[in-house]
């Protein structure tokens, strides 16, 4: 069984994953960091040189592999749910947790990192704020469709989120440390 954390950029997936994994006694992996490590290139570099479609293929292949592992918490990239096969695989592999955040929360966490010179590649030609608004509107139905557990993250600490998620996970006690 694996637990997959989904949600928009800035929702807290990468902060929650290691702490949730520690609580379960499982491994964890951040899909973006793992792709960066395997390809030896940063995410903005992959987008710049090969384009978003290539990045999405790498991402889907990696998640297919990770979903076949056991006792693993995955922090998926914010756009991973765009791929229907990835959504299906994650659902089949175990609980899928949507870390839901409002536009204000997302903007306050990652706004500085978007746009020219930011560490996160542009996903549209819109200005960063309009991009977040558009993509959030487009993706919320996909996060909702994929998720078996939804957790509101606004104004909540990582500790609080981990406790809330762990309490809702349908994991038999013998699978946790
Ligand atoms: C993306 C989110 C990023 C990363 C890439 C594309 C997206 O992951 O995969 O920049 O489409 O929302 P995080 O959600 O970890 O920032």
For ligand 1, is residue 30 a contact (CB within 6 Å)? no
Residue 69 CB-density burial (10 A; 0-12 exposed, 13-18 middle, 19+ buried): middle
Rounded distance between C-alpha atoms, residue 13 and residue 39, angstroms: 21
For ligand 1, is residue 78 a contact (CB within 6 Å)? yes
For ligand 1, is residue 123 a contact (CB within 6 Å)? yes
- Per-residue pLDDT in tens (0 to 9) along the chain, 177 residues: 999 999 999 999 999 999 999 999 999 999 999 999 999 999 999 999 999 999 999 999 999 999 999 999 999 999 999 999 999 999 999 999 999 999 999 999 998 888 777 788 999 999 999 999 999 999 999 999 999 999 999 999 999 999 999 999 998 888 888
Residue 110 CA, closest ligand 1 atom number = 16
For ligand 1, is residue 43 a contact (CB within 6 Å)? yes
Give the pLDDT of residue 116: 72
pTM for the whole thing?
0.97
Residue 44 CA, closest ligand 1 atom number = 10
């Amino acid at each position: 069984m694996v637990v997959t954390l989904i949600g928009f950029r800035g929702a807290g997936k990468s902060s929650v994953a290691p702490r949730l994994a520690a609580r379960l006694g499982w491994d964890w992996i951040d899909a973006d960091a793992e792709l960066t490590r395997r390809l030896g290139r940063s995410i903005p570099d992959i987008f710049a040189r090969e384009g978003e479609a290539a990045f999405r293929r790498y991402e889907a292949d990696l998640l297919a592999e990770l979903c076949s592992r056991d006792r693993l918490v995955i922090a998926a990239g914010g756009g991973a749910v765009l791929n229907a096969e990835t959504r299906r695989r994650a659902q089949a592999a175990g609980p899928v947790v949507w870390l839901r955040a409002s536009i204000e929360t997302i903007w306050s966490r990652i706004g500085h990192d978007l746009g020219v010179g930011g560490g996160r590649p542009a996903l549209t030609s819109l200005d960063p704020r309009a991009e977040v608004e558009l993509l959030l509107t487009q993706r919320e139905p996909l996060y909702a469709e994929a998720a078996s557990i939804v957790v509101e993250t606004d104004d909540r600490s990582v500790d609080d989120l981990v406790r809330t998620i762990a309490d809702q996970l349908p994991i038999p006690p013998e699978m946790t440390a």
